[in-house]
Structure 1
């Protein structure tokens, strides 16, 4: 019988080997994750984000690179900040990242708020997307509303002309908000939505309240097990529910007026189109599009279209006032092309090449959504050699891409000429410029928004010369950004219009 004597050092060697293997796995695991700033227990990196989150993330990307990973409460977040990494997310890995996380708003709303934009990926989203692209925002549908855009812009010009007669300052932030609101109101609701209700605080007040809440910090989005308690204690949940109920009542009252409503094909507003599709679905035995879904889509159209158009117009006019050379050049182009016609119509806009460059440059520096709405990863993939795991939220920092010195020469300067002869457009295929996003989640109303904002800017620059209020210089124009999910200018733009003869 043999006796085996185990050396005293053998268990120690085995333990050391196990530790080395574990350390190797930990190191390899860290290498697989994107880099990012160290966080604190429980809250992660929340304390490192300022009110202007996109700017905080931009500063982090300068240190850690174009792909960074953060922890916000229990949520893993990856932010990409270069055109190439945006291309990988929005094109190469679009299918793996085209879902949405469930946030506070979607949990409280009686229907899926911002239905097109925030519905998780699935068969229902595909159908709503199809309806949006082929029925609501097709080129023919957008063209059918041309008379509404031209009528409302003419009313705006007339209103400003009254102020110019008395050299009175005009709050363009407010004027342009009501212009876009009135256009979308007529496009979506036709004559069945009472304008005075919108302007006297009802519908519009609740819209503003809802957007303020959604743009604020919601603990339940990052601490799902206890966040709902915070939402109740702070009153956030109650405020949002109240706004939702009020908006739902407004929309229901408007849709009810369409009962028995017949309209010729080609003259329908968006509710006409949606109710027709709802009827077709019922006849086919499908419940894909219901009355609550219709209200959600209308909210998406109303909020989304107002934001993108009005925001861009305010920033564009602000930049033009700060850059007299550009202002003079774009006005010369418009007045040379239009001559003595008295107004700019949509056919004329297509001839205004420098105006298009001005709009693109405005989008580069002031994208309507500085961070594209969060995507949620459905299956694992890699970006720049880093592994991105399911349930991770992904943001594309469009604001940072617009200031990337590797792409743009003198990125902080307003230079529309950089787009001369450039193929870069806003339709989601050029990842250097993504004002409406890209991939499956690109905004379906981008063509409508662009048409309205270029028509409006062209008429304002054609009909008026613009001056700053007395005792102000271009250096006094406040270009600070307001916090929120859209990139609003912090202060209103107030200018004095001078009628151009």
Structure 2
């Protein structure tokens, strides 16, 4: 009798679930047909035909990274391409940002920089980054701290001479300590390697992985599927559960230090790091009333969200870019020699020397062209109906359409880069080269590793300096070779797709000092 009742209950649950799914699907199809019948036909850009409900999501589900899939589709359908992904139209080539699980969970419900939709809050945060957090003067103020970390890296390589070094781990350590010193203070950069800092670092890597996986997630493109169990959302919540206590601990310490120095109620007069700047602004008022100061918009969650974006945007992308540059140089020893030849042997190059190092800068720009760490940039959203003209044709782009810019495909487009677009040739950026004067800061649309316009990455200035300084230091201070038995052409260039695209196989190489020994002493 009990078995019969259990089977009956299970059958009832199954029938109820099936009925719910059928009704949900019927509702979606009915609404889609109703909207389609009520609006005039749209002249959408060409693209692949999709399946009902899921559209073309299956095309992105394979082993090939999404930016390579989309580049192959664009070669077939054209430079402006339309896909239907779940409930949303996607145009691959609006400053708006669509809602995402990353922005909702990791960024404290869209209170950061990366995923915040266009509006007054985004304008305030953007202005804050440009004028306060990542201004040229603020970046220059931390130059000595970055120099100390770069010299410490050189010292480590000097002491490890002749041994195989995992460059990904080495570079990630440099960028993590750099951004911790700038964002939350020197004490926390010294904690790098501790158990809690390692947990935060692992969570940071997981955040990049799950953010990239969102491009392929059915829940991101078919919102009514979010109620189904999804590993992606669980992973994001686990990341948040590591981030939040770590950030709360840092905030509490900054507030405690401030009270000890100035008492309760005093303002953060001396800003030692970016967190001090944010706390100072957040004390200037409450409530987003029109006409109030910028800081009035900043809540505690807003401060944590912005610091999260600064920490994530300043670590993995810069380390990945420098690792890609070294991989390309190891595959082309003549380019490695050319970069080393323009660097002195009696003193270390500094960030202020970078404008006078054309070949090093060419190496960095060529790396950004071939390996943009954000190959699809960030997903945009059309805020209103518009018409886009491409090569003599015009296409409708309805409001709400998602927009992806495939920076990886743009950087390898034969029309923009006719001279061997798939090969590493820094010489193209030198005086007299085909790309002389092409700049990656948004003014030349054939090279957009940071995006362009109002939504381009606000940290591009810091990123370019940090990558160029690390590459210059490694090339100036050391001769490099691959482990025994590994030829330059054997260095794999496979990618691991995430919020940033890093190497699938970490780069391992052997360094031999090439400067006088006294230069390898770390800067105090």
Q: How many Å separate the matches in 1 of 2:467 and 2:223?
A: 40
Which residue pairs with 2:277 in the alignment? 273
Q: How does 1:366-385 map to 2 (within 5 A)?
A: 366-384=371-389, 385=394
Q: How many Å separate the matches in 2 of 1:443 and 1:388?
A: 24
Whether 1:29 aligns to 2:41 is yes
**Selected match of 1:52 from 54, 58, 65:** 65
Q: Is the partner of 1:443 in helix, strand or coil?
A: coil
Q: Report how far residue 199 of structure 1 moved.
A: 7.2
Q: Report how far residue 481 of structure 1 moved.
A: 0.9
**TM-score relative to the length of structure 1:** 0.86
Q: Report how far residue 281 of structure 1 moved.
A: 3.2
Q: How many Å separate the matches in 2 of 1:79 and 1:219?
A: 18
Q: Report how far residue 410 of structure 1 moved.
A: 0.9
1:458 to 1:122, Cα distance in 2 relative to 1, 3 A: same
**TM-score relative to the length of structure 2:** 0.82
1:482 to 1:114, Cα distance in 2 relative to 1, 3 A: farther
1:64 to 1:435, Cα distance in 2 relative to 1, 3 A: same
**Selected match of 2:424 from 408, 411, 414:** 414
Whether 1:229 aligns to 2:224 is no
Asked whether the 8 Å contact 1:112–1:118 carries over to 2, the reply is no
C-alpha deviations, 1:441-464, integer Å up to 9, x for none? 111111111111111111110110
**Selected match of 1:436 from 439, 450, 453:** 450
Q: Report how far residue 265 of structure 1 moved.
A: 6.8
1:364 to 1:266, Cα distance in 2 relative to 1, 3 A: farther
Which residue pairs with 2:5 in the alignment? none
Which residue pairs with 2:304 in the alignment? 295
Q: How many Å separate the matches in 1 of 2:412 and 2:285?
A: 46
Q: How many Å separate the matches in 2 of 1:54 and 1:67?
A: 14
Which residue pairs with 2:253 in the alignment? 257
C-alpha deviations, 1:63-84, integer Å up to 9, x for none? 111000001111110001xxxx
Whether 1:351 aligns to 2:356 is yes
C-alpha deviations, 1:267-323, integer Å up to 9, x for none? 621011111111123496874011110100001011111122111100100000111
Q: Is the partner of 1:77 in helix, strand or coil?
A: strand
**Number of residues of Structure 1 aligned to a counterpart in Structure 2:** 450
Q: Is the partner of 2:502 in helix, strand or coil?
A: coil
Q: Is the partner of 2:81 in helix, strand or coil?
A: strand
Which residue pairs with 2:406 in the alignment? 397
Which residue pairs with 1:340 in the alignment? 346
Question: Where do 5+ consecutive residues of structure 2 fail to align?
Answer: 1-36, 263-267, 516-524
Q: Is the partner of 2:254 in helix, strand or coil?
A: coil
Asked whether the 8 Å contact 2:345–2:476 carries over to 1, the reply is no
Q: How many Å separate the matches in 1 of 2:252 and 2:505?
A: 39
**Selected match of 2:88 from 75, 89, 104:** 75
Q: How many Å separate the matches in 1 of 2:342 and 2:111?
A: 38
Question: Where do 5+ consecutive residues of structure 1 fail to align?
Answer: 1-24, 81-96
Q: Is the partner of 2:465 in helix, strand or coil?
A: helix
Whether 1:494 aligns to 2:508 is yes
Q: Report how far residue 195 of structure 1 moved.
A: 2.6
1:108 to 1:266, Cα distance in 2 relative to 1, 3 A: closer
Which residue pairs with 1:478 in the alignment? 492
Asked whether the 8 Å contact 1:318–1:477 carries over to 2, the reply is yes
Q: How many Å separate the matches in 1 of 2:105 and 2:442?
A: 31
**Selected match of 2:367 from 340, 350, 362:** 362
Which residue pairs with 2:337 in the alignment? 328
Asked whether the 8 Å contact 2:46–2:82 carries over to 1, the reply is yes
Which residue pairs with 2:217 in the alignment? 218
Asked whether the 8 Å contact 2:342–2:357 carries over to 1, the reply is yes
Q: Report how far residue 160 of structure 1 moved.
A: 0.7
Which residue pairs with 1:464 in the alignment? 478
**Selected match of 1:175 from 170, 173, 189:** 170
Q: Report how far residue 57 of structure 1 moved.
A: 0.7
Q: How many Å separate the matches in 2 of 1:265 and 1:255?
A: 16
Which residue pairs with 1:125 in the alignment? 122
Which residue pairs with 1:202 in the alignment? 199
C-alpha deviations, 1:22-47, integer Å up to 9, x for none? xxx99x936x1100011112221122
1:420 to 1:437, Cα distance in 2 relative to 1, 3 A: same
C-alpha deviations, 1:104-138, integer Å up to 9, x for none? 22333471367111100110110011100000011
